[in-house]
């Protein structure tokens, strides 16, 4: 009998937070490099929240 584990939700949340924040920082940095958006903590956090929400919806 094969069992599957979804893992500890706290670890999954932390991984999603860290990876989404890194991704958001890189994207916002690129947009600021192209003078499209300012590289501010608010912009990075906003995009990170959006990416986290999309990741959550897609994986559920």
The predicted pLDDT at position 30 comes to 97
Task: Indicate if the pLDDT at residue 27 is higher than 80.
Answer: yes
Average pLDDT over every residue of 28-38 = 96
**pLDDT tens per residue across span 36-54:** 999 999 999 999 999 999 9
Which two structure tokens, joined as six digits, stand for 18? 């860290």
**DSSP for 9-58?**
HHHHHHHHHHHHHHHHHHHHHHHHHTTSS---HHHHHHHHHHHHHHHHHH
The reported pTM is 0.83
pLDDT score at 40: 96
Predicted pLDDT of residue 1: 59
């Amino acid at each position: 009998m094969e069992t599957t584990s979804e893992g500890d939700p706290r670890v999954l949340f932390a991984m999603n937070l860290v990876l989404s924040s890194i991704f958001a920082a890189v994207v916002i940095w690129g947009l600021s490099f192209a003078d499209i958006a300012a590289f501010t903590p608010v912009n990075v956090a906003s995009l990170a929240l959006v990416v986290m929400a999309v990741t959550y919806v897609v994986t559920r």
